[in-house]
Amino acid sequence: CLEYQEKYVYPCVRGTALTGGYGRANYCHHASDQLVAGGTNAGRDEFPHMVLIGFGDSASNLGFKCGGSIISERFVLTAAHCSFSPKFGYATFIAIGVLHKDEARDQSKIYSIKRFINHPHYKSPSKYDDIALIETDREMQLDQFTVPACLPTEPVDDARAIATGWGATHYNTQPTDILQKVILYKTPVEECSRLFRSHRLFRRGFNEETQTCYGDRELPTRYQDRYESKDTCPGDSGGPLQIKSKKIDCMYIIVGVTSNGEQDCATPDSAGVYTKVAAYVPWIESIVWPQYSF
């Protein structure tokens, strides 16, 4: 993670002709305190690790149904259930460096999926172990605008986190064309266990070892004829739940992967379930960085 920060965010560059020598450039495109409450449009380059996952036969004719996070030059972290769509088939491409979905028409941003690696314990349609890695057909072109995110390799303060995605912004609406961000708060385990005690996708109940859930602390707001809370919704699946790193400046840590963006999302007193990334770091590292995995 520190290596990516030094390479893409604060790279060592040659000074001007007058000063000579080398110095650190500052290519950080988001402020350390830039967590704005509420579901709002993300800024340009604010989440440089975000990925759109596309379904279709050709890069020029894709339907985008999920999100993900760049974690290295060749790998993206996402949800296992994003590997296949009953309507569109298997995931085939990813798009990087995109804020508006229309920007994915730029072929330089498109990469073919070489392998979609679901966690070995994942079994559809259950949402247990709902985590996966995408290996691209070639190295992604990373730069100051496209920067990998970090994994939680040690305990972090994740009481408050920010979810991002191109999913629906309200109940029963179409996914948005521009990347959205929303601040969510960790829901107590007891409440998560109650909410998902008999859920059809969690037959064994909520698993606090591999799952976490987050919701909205603010009062519900009125939208058309119903009240809604902030949440992740259909189209957000696979996208990150992230925090700002306190140790490595201008870098995000992915603490969760959006797992159950349900049709009845954003209902008051609800919470969304996220795959707990910390529980899967050894598995991720064994595939992405096998040379450092023991």
Catalytic residue at 130? yes
Q: Exactly one of 69, 72, 229, 237 is catalytic; name it.
A: 237
Q: Which of 49, 69, 72, 81 is catalytic?
A: 81
> 271 near 278, Cβ under 8 Å?
no
How do residues 20-52 score in pLDDT, each as one tens digit?
A: 667 778 889 876 545 444 568 999 999 999 999
Residue-range domain boundaries for the chain: 50-148+282-289, 160-279
Let me know if 237 is a catalytic residue.
Answer: yes
- The pair of three-digit structure tokens given for residue 211, joined into one six-digit string: 């799952």
Domain 160-279 belongs in CATH node 1.10.40.50: no
- Select which of 49, 119, 129, 130 is catalytic: 130
Ramachandran angles phi, psi of 255, nearest 5°: -95, -20
Structural contact between residues 239 and 68, judged by C-beta atoms closer than 8 angstroms? yes
More confident residue, 13 or 1: 1
Cβ count near 246 (within 10 Å): 11
pTM: 0.89
Tell me, yes or no, if 129 is annotated catalytic: no
Residues 206-224: tens digit of each pLDDT:
999 999 999 886 644 444 4
Using CA atoms, how far apart are residues 230 and 228, in angstroms rounded to an integer? 7
Q: Which CATH superfamily is domain 50-148+282-289 in?
A: Trypsin-like serine proteases (2.40.10.10)
d(CA 267, CA 107): 38
Do residues 28 and 271 make contact, with C-beta atoms less than 8 angstroms apart?
Answer: no
Give yes or no on whether 50-148+282-289 and 160-279 have one common fold: yes
pLDDT on residue 83: 97
Tens of pLDDT, residues 140-193: 999 999 999 999 999 999 999 999 999 876 555 677 899 999 999 999 999 999
User: Do residues 112 and 92 lie in contact, with contact meaning Cβ atoms separated by under 8 Å?
Assistant: yes
| Interval 97-153: pLDDT, tens | 999 999 988 999 999 999 999 999 999 999 999 999 999 999 999 999 999 999 999
Most confident range (mean pLDDT) of 11-15, 176-180, 239-243 is: 239-243
CB 132 within 8 A of CB 119: yes
pLDDT value at residue 113: 98
